[in-house]
Amino acid sequence: MYKIINMDMIKILVTGSNGFLGSNLVHFFSRHKRYNCYSTLRTANPHKNPQHFFRGDLLDTSFTEELISTVDPDVIINTVSLVDVDLCEEEPELAEKIIAKTAENLASSVYKQNCRLIHISTDQLFDGKKSMYSEDDTPAPVNVYGKMKLKAEDITRKMCPDVIIIRTNFFGWSPPYHPPTFAEWIYNSLQDKKPITLFTDYYFCPIEVTYLAEAIELVLQSDFRGILNIAGSERCSKYDFGISLAHRFGLDTSTISASKMNPDSFKAKRQRDLSLSNKKFEQYFSKKLPDLEDSLARFYMNQGIKSDL
Using one digit for the tens of pLDDT, what is the confidence trace for 254-288?
A: 999 999 999 888 999 999 999 999 999 999 999 99
φ, ψ (nearest 5 deg) of residue 77: -110, 110
What is the distance between the alpha carbons of residues 260 and 194, in angstroms, rounded to a whole number?
Answer: 20
Average pLDDT over residues 296-303: 96
Domains and CATH numbers, the chain: 10-175+205-233+274-291 (3.40.50.720)
Average pLDDT over residues 114-124: 95
pTM, rounded to two decimals: 0.94
Query: Could you read off the pLDDT of 51-77 as tens digits, one per residue?
Result: 588 989 999 999 999 999 999 999 999
* Residue 95 near residue 240, CB atoms below 8 Å: no
- The CA distance from 92 to 143, in Å, is 10
**177: DSSP letter:** T
Q: What was the pLDDT predicted at 4?
A: 46
Residue type, 199: F
| Whether residue 50 has pLDDT greater than 70 | no
